[in-house]
Structure 1
Amino acid sequence: MQTIPSIALLGFLIPILGIGPIPAITALFLYALLPVIRNTYTGINGVDPGVKEAAVAMGMTGWQRLIRVDLVLAFPVIMAGIRTATVINVGVGTLAAYIAAGGLGEFIFGGIALNNTNMILAGAIPAALLAILLDFLLSLLQRAGNRSRRVTLGLLPLVLLGLSSFYVLPLGYSSRLLAGFTPEFMGRRDGDIGLRAVYGLNVRTVVISDAVMYKAIFNKKLDVISGYSTDGRLKAYDLITLDDDKKIFPPYYAAPLVRSATMEKYPELAPVLNMLAGKINDSIMTDLNFRVEYLNQSPEQVARDFLAAHGLYREPRDGKKGS
């Protein structure tokens, strides 16, 4: 499990466990197994054979020796594995924002989407401090006496349950719809802010990556997403684009972007590109993307068919393949 990239593992879990904290916690659990199990095995295997022989001579059963001797002597090595897994999982946990599990990753990915360094640091610095704090607290547990250690381990599940209780608290939304929006969409006026202000939208929203939100709505884990009207997955997954009758979103046009140096070197490029003006709208872009992404047609062939259909294709003058 440790060899599977974290993003891929989160994506694999969506059809099985959906989105949110459950697949995120499952993925973190799987990533924590390697250092914990390896250190546990190493610690128990490293117990002095003489001590084990003495425990058997005292009449201890296999389980008694394991609990009272092996695990006690191997505890420092086991705790080293737990501390390693904890620090790793804090870092991996930020990726859970990709599948709407919340956390500090929302600030990081939102900052990346908006090119906002301060927003990135607002998620990265607390995550680093949290990893250091948890490692320090576990080191205190490692050095504590047996009695204090037992009390702490007994209270730990209750503390974890209390800290995670916000996932099950009432959210105060009357709508049963669940919307998954990208970090960029959540912070824009032509996005979630505009939907709430102009349309009075009052649905529960979660922040999710655009890389997985289509898969999530296709698997019926979401009801609404901030998709792209030109994405081929709209057609592949039979999704419906809602009409913006109150016009909070600016119009979207296809426009070629060319470097100034390139245009100066090839001035004849401008009139050629202008021949495409007014011929590519949202639905056409959706269909072209669908043919490339899901029908596995080559971009060159799709572009050639489109140009031919609009009477714009010309055979290359040098006689070579292409246009």
Structure 2
Amino acid sequence: MNLLGQFITDNRAKLLEQVLEHIGLTFFSLLLAALVAVPLGIFITRRQKLAGSFLGLAGILQTVPSIALLGFLIPILGIGVKPAIVALFFYALLPILRNTYTGIQEVDASVKEAAVGIGLSKGQMLRQVELPLALPVIFAGLRTATVINVGVATLAAYIGAGGLGEFIFGGIALNNTTMILAGALPAAGLAILFDQLLAFLQRGRVGKLRGKAPALLIGAAFLSSAYFWPQAYAPGWKAGFPPEFMGRKDGYKNLVETYGLQFNTTVLNNALMYAAVKEKEVDVISGYSTDGRINAYGLTILEDDQHAFPPYHCTPILRRGLAEEHPEVVDALNLLAGKIDDSTMTLLN
């Protein structure tokens, strides 16, 4: 726990930034899902033949693995916040849609008949009878969607959308349990906090909630904009680095200390870095000087004239037993020593 406390103290600014990004991703996608799912849920209660199709489609979206859905969205929307918001929107859709439909459907038929008997129109019956009675069930769907989105939002870091997943992925890459906990524990805390907040609102009387609807909408919009708060005060240039580069002492920390550069950094998977800089999603990446995509994408390698980074070389490593049993393999590999320079390796890549 001492290590965790020290890590949080040393990285409190970055942790706050990730928490704000996580809140923004969660609430913005949740707000969009609620604005779509609640009216759609009301609509399919009036069109019963369509209910099965819409609920089935939302259920299919819910079963698609998170990484697979993000991977599918990247070619369409690029990397960053857009595919993350869309994926979270899809995951929040089913609980809200299903609970809105179920809540209205479960309103007692005798209550509806009484509403018709006193002369209420369909719109009045919806606003004054069905929705108030269905509100607890709808809120249960919102609570479920919120908890799901807080968890799934950690994967947004995989595609450069930020959030608490940055520490989690960084900890996994560096085998650093402290870093993993620094991302996982706040995410769990946010899930509990938001669930309890919605439970508190759910316990309020319908009249109170209706009277505070404008304030609730403003609050939701305020939280949804939290993602963009850190960017408003970030340096102009945006850099995308893998978690290993961000976490190692000979990585980003050394770059800052040696050159005095400050970037608006985002964690990116190695496989996405080059596409990100090509599509101008980021301005700077930490690449491999022999990667073939440098020439293919017309990228420029910056010279490390201050020698911030030690030279890195690729070398084959064999299990000792294999080398002893098959010395001819060692002899064959040694024939390659000094034969492939950087330009040749770049072409081969």
Identity %: 60
Deviation at 1:126, TM superposition (A): 1.8
Deviation at 1:178, TM superposition (A): 1.8
Aligned CA RMSD, in angstroms, stands at 2.3
Deviations 1:108-159 (A, max 9, x none): 0110111101110111122122212222222222222123323554333333
Output the CA distance in 2 between the equivalents of 1:196 and 1:74: 55
Paired residues for 1:162-181 under 5 Å: 162-163=222-223, 164-165=225-226, 167-168=228-229, 170-171=232-233, 173=235, 176-181=236-241
Say whether the 8 Å CA contact 2:132–2:206 is kept in structure 1: no
Partner of 1:145: 205
Per chain length, whose mean CA-contact separation is higher, i.e. which structure has more relative contact order (CA < 8 Å, sep 6+)?
A: 2
Secondary structure at the residue paired with 1:283?
helix
Secondary structure at the residue paired with 1:180?
strand
Deviations 1:252-303 (A, max 9, x none): 22210111121122122221211111123433333223xxxxxxxxxxxxxx
Partner of 2:245: 185
Deviation at 1:165, TM superposition (A): 4.0
Output the CA distance in 2 between the equivalents of 1:281 and 1:119: 37
Output the CA distance in 1 between the equivalents of 2:265 and 2:111: 58
Change (3 A) 1:47 1:172: closer
Say whether the 8 Å CA contact 1:107–1:119 is kept in structure 2: yes
1:6 counterpart = 2:66: yes
1:67 counterpart = 2:67: no
Deviations 1:173-219 (A, max 9, x none): 3xx43211122212333322222222222332222222322222222
Say whether the 8 Å CA contact 1:253–1:281 is kept in structure 2: no
Deviation at 1:172, TM superposition (A): 5.3
Output the CA distance in 2 between the equivalents of 1:63 and 1:212: 50
1:282 counterpart = 2:342: yes
Say whether the 8 Å CA contact 1:14–1:216 is kept in structure 2: no
Change (3 A) 1:15 1:221: farther
Secondary structure at the residue paired with 2:271?
coil
Output the CA distance in 2 between the equivalents of 1:172 and 1:220: 17
Give the alignment partner of residue 119 of structure 1, picking from 179, 188, 202.
179
Secondary structure at the residue paired with 1:102?
coil
Change (3 A) 1:87 1:44: same
Change (3 A) 1:138 1:70: same
Number of aligned residues: 287
Query: Over alpha carbons, which structure has the higher Rg?
Result: 1
Partner of 1:248: 308
Name the structure where helix makes up a greater proportion of residues. Answer: 2
* TM-score relative to the length of structure 1: 0.80
Residue type at the aligned position of 1:40: T
* TM-score relative to the length of structure 2: 0.74
Once structures 1 and 2 are overlaid, which stretch shifts more, 1-10 or 57-66?
1-10
Say whether the 8 Å CA contact 1:230–1:285 is kept in structure 2: yes
Output the CA distance in 1 between the equivalents of 2:180 and 2:144: 24
Unaligned runs of 5+ in 2: 1-60
Partner of 2:191: 131
Output the CA distance in 1 between the equivalents of 2:296 and 2:65: 26
Residue type at the aligned position of 2:123: W
Change (3 A) 1:211 1:51: farther
1:91 counterpart = 2:161: no
